[in-house]
Amino acid sequence: MTTKNTWTRARRWATIGAVGAAGVAAAELAVAGGFMVREVFKYPDPVQDGPDPMLAPPTHPMRSSVVGTPDGTLLHVVASGDVEDADEIVVLIHGWTCNTGFWNAQFNHFGSGRPMVAYDQRGHGLSEMGTAAATIEMLGQDLQAVLEAMIPEGKRAVLVGHSMGGMTIMSWAKQFGAGMEDRVSAIVLCSTAARGVVQRQHLIPEDMPAVAGPGKRVLERTFTSSRLPLPSNSLTEKFSHYVTTGPVARQAHVDFTDEMIASCSPKARGAWGSAMYSLDVLSGLDKVTVPTAVVVGSADLLTPVEHAQEMAKVLSRRGFLYSYNVYEGAGHMVPYERSAEFDALLGNLLSGVSAATGS
């Protein structure tokens, strides 16, 4: 009887301890979440200046096709312009929770005069997710499949990657980058990171109590790996503004972002968010042997300036940094938050590449 009572008391205290630990964890998470929500509602209201025509679907002819990957997954691809007209074809690679529509501003700016290709990342837009587990290596392998299918023999690609698209380029370089100058003429790494992207974001304020530290780490994982469906409404719009665009943002840009994120498959969002938690493609930069521009917004909370500085430093040391560009006040969505400046940068890069090759 004594032994039985002892085990009963032990189980009781173990249960109380587990409940207490769960309560502490919940409290830590609540504190971290509360500090982030405080920042969300401190952001100013977006600027009401009407629609941005650069975000409208392109009106010039666009071709749609699919590319198969080695594991049989089909990726949706859109293209414009005549690939026979230029030696370089721009390949646009969007980021997490986005789709090919992310690049409307670039398609609209360059029109049909510049051959351009964009594809929906695996599980995004109209691309299949496939059955294999999402990995950072897979991002580079999917890009390789697109390049093999869409870039004709004798032509070269100008790779432009935003956020997870930039990680895709570095993953590709790490795996397939040997002698890349034969297939790629230039690179743009925009609003992206080479390592520690989840752990080094600035969405959760640093001034919260130290006791909430564990809750911050839980919130980081929850934010990226959640597979819950996301609506698009006035509340999610506030969070989209805070997370993705600069404090002084156009309403049209906030709406466009919020609707794009809401349309992303929850399964793909969670799978790729989880994969990015272990991101480390910094060594991919050691394979880069072409001019590379690094672009970031000064108010980017998802991939803050420290990431861009790290990548630029590596590229500069190796002699392949084309330019380092910080757009003041811009958030994470630079290609349409600052479309005029970004398109000018891309145009100058393309002109420089053409001049260097004599085309």
Measuring CA to CA, which residue among 273, 288, 249, 282 is closest to residue 55? 249
Q: Looking at the chain, how many residues does it have?
A: 359
What's the CA gap between 333 and 190, in Å, rounded? 9
User: Which CATH number does the domain 53-197+259-357 belong to among 3.30.70.980, 3.40.50.1820, 3.40.30.10, 3.90.380.10?
Assistant: 3.40.50.1820
Q: DSSP 3-state assignment of 292?
A: strand
Instruction: Give pLDDT tens digits along the chain (359 positions).
Output: 444 554 454 444 334 333 333 333 344 445 445 667 788 889 999 999 999 999 999 999 999 999 999 999 999 999 999 988 889 999 999 999 999 999 999 999 999 999 999 999 999 999 999 999 999 999 999 999 999 999 999 999 999 999 999 999 999 999 999 999 999 999 999 999 999 998 898 887 776 555 455 555 655 666 677 777 778 888 889 999 999 999 999 999 999 999 999 999 999 999 999 999 999 999 999 999 999 999 999 999 999 999 999 999 999 999 999 999 999 999 999 999 999 999 999 999 999 987 777 65
The predicted structure's pLDDT at residue 18:
35
Pairing type for strands 156-162 and 116-119 reads unpaired
What order do you get walking across the sheet with 63-68 strand by strand? 63-68, 74-80, 116-119, 88-93, 156-162, 184-190, 292-297, 321-327
Query: For residue 184, what are the CA distances in angstroms to 154, 180, 187, 190, 249?
Result: 11, 6, 8, 17, 34
Please give the model's pTM, rounded to 2 decimal places. 0.88
Boundaries of every domain in the chain: 53-197+259-357
- What is d(CA 48, CA 345) in angstroms, rounded to the nearest whole number? 27
Determine the pLDDT at residue 220.
63
Q: Which helix (H) or strand (E) holds 289?
A: none
Q: 94 near 103, Cβ under 8 Å?
A: yes
